[in-house]
Amino acid sequence: MTALPEQATPKTAVSSLPPSPLEPWDRIGRRLGVRLLVKRDDLLPFPLAGNKVRKLVRELSARRVRAGDVLITTGGVDSNHCRTAALLGARLGLDVELVLHTRAGIEVSETLPVRLARALGAAVHLVDPTDVGARIDERRTVRATAGNTVHVIPGGCHTRAGVAAYADAAAELLDQLGSAPDVLVLASGTGATQAGLVAGLHRAGCRTRVVGISVARPACRGGAAVREALSWVDGGAEIPVEFLDEFIDGGYGVASDATRDTVRLAWRLGLPLDPTYTGKAFRGLTELADSGAFPPHATVVFWHTGGLMNQLVE
């Protein structure tokens, strides 16, 4: 087989992304009493990547990675971030190592997300959540001692570059919509995506209410992470952060019957959701709307952050 040419840097291979679609969902919006639009980051042109591709493209470009460098990152076994890191790493000629945490007693070595990561050439290390930091340090030391240039990226790409990517995405939304939405709702995990959207809308002078629906973290921890990420791009700006933990259903990867019902109904209406991320967020949106938390006929944007793989492995 003829060897494929190596890619030199993200600038030559993945320099930018096209805007993701902004779609009206009038049928659901009418039932909720709002003008509902869905920002489809699940349709960005990388398979099953969702919001992670915006952040990782910006992060890898900022680091000026080169073919042959080592990329180490972490997440759960179903992590969209880790799978996207493996995908971009394969495209850019990087040597990717994924430290994936899993609950004790659960066999995951042959699950679809792990098999896909390995198919992309990533080395997969399955560890207990308490051992993530130690394993990352171990792999960084081993690879650096061998003479490699090593890049360790925090889980979820919770970095300054990741936040900046979503500040730009907020400007993309405003260009598409032509005005500021009243409310923006999204699934919020490590907080960089939410922080970027808050920062971008704030810079544009918008008074949009940005509601982060936690997929795992309690409000005290998750809200603090969003505020920390905001400080990386907007210094000490006093910007309100709304991070709700009423829909976490017991933690990451755990879904209640109410969340699963939301996912099933959305699929029947043509909107693909998953029980780990977007299902929780969309359930939050619908329950907030039903409770009168949004003004009548408000323009509400649901930022679809992806997660289809989490539905496929159900």
The pLDDT score that the predictor gives to residue 304 is 97
Is 177 in the same domain as 300? yes
Q: Which of 101, 127, 148 is the last residue of a domain?
A: 148
Is 85 in the same domain as 143? yes
Domain count along the chain:
2
| Residue 5 included in any domain | no
Is 87 in the same domain as 229? no
Is 77 in the same domain as 137? yes
The pLDDT score that the predictor gives to residue 219 is 94
With bands split at pLDDT 50, 70 and 90, how would you rate the model's confidence at 253? confident
Q: Which of 92, 126, 148 is the last residue of a domain?
A: 148
The pLDDT score that the predictor gives to residue 156 is 87
Residue range(s) defining the domain that contains residue 193? 17-51+158-312
With bands split at pLDDT 50, 70 and 90, how would you rate the model's confidence at 314? low
* pLDDT of 106 above 70: no
First to last CA, the chain: 37
CATH number of 117's domain: 3.40.50.1100
Give the CA distances from residue 259 to residues 215, 253, 277, in Å, rounded to whole numbers and listed in that order: 11, 12, 10
The pLDDT score that the predictor gives to residue 11 is 45
| Residue 289 included in any domain | yes
Is 124 in the same domain as 191? no
With bands split at pLDDT 50, 70 and 90, how would you rate the model's confidence at 237? low
The pLDDT score that the predictor gives to residue 5 is 42
The pLDDT score that the predictor gives to residue 311 is 66
Is 45 in the same domain as 74? no
* pLDDT of 2 above 50: no
Mean pLDDT along residues 169-194: 96
Q: Which of 122, 148, 174 is the last residue of a domain?
A: 148
Q: pLDDT digits over 130-170, tens only?
A: 999 999 999 999 999 999 999 999 998 999 999 999 999 99
CA angle, residues 14, 187, 22, in degrees to nearest 5 = 60
| Residue 102 included in any domain | yes
Is 110 in the same domain as 185? no
Mean pLDDT along residues 103-128: 82
The pLDDT score that the predictor gives to residue 100 is 94
Is 90 in the same domain as 123? yes
Average pLDDT in the chain: 90
Q: What is the DSSP string of 209-267?
A: EEEEEESSS-HHHHHHHHHHHHHHHHTT-----EEE-TT-TTSTT---HHHHHHHHHHH
Give the CA distances from residue 152 to residues 89, 143, 156, 199, in Å, rounded to whole numbers and listed in that order: 13, 11, 12, 25
Residue 241: φ, ψ to 5° = -125, 125
Is 224 in the same domain as 198? yes
| Residue 3 included in any domain | no
For the whole prediction, is pTM greater than 0.95? no
| Residue 308 included in any domain | yes
Q: What is the bridge-based pairing of β-strands 183-188 and 209-214?
A: parallel
Structural contact between residues 196 and 170, judged by C-beta atoms closer than 8 angstroms: yes
| Residue 6 included in any domain | no
Read off the tokens for 146: 């061998």
Is 194 in the same domain as 136? no
Is 164 in the same domain as 25? yes
Residue 232: CB atoms within 10 A of its CB come to 18
* pLDDT of 8 above 70: no
* pLDDT of 246 above 80: yes
With bands split at pLDDT 50, 70 and 90, how would you rate the model's confidence at 312? low
| Residue 82 included in any domain | yes
| Residue 125 included in any domain | yes
Is 88 in the same domain as 24? no
Give the CA distances from residue 15 to residues 182, 205, 239, in Å, rounded to whole numbers and listed in that order: 32, 28, 31
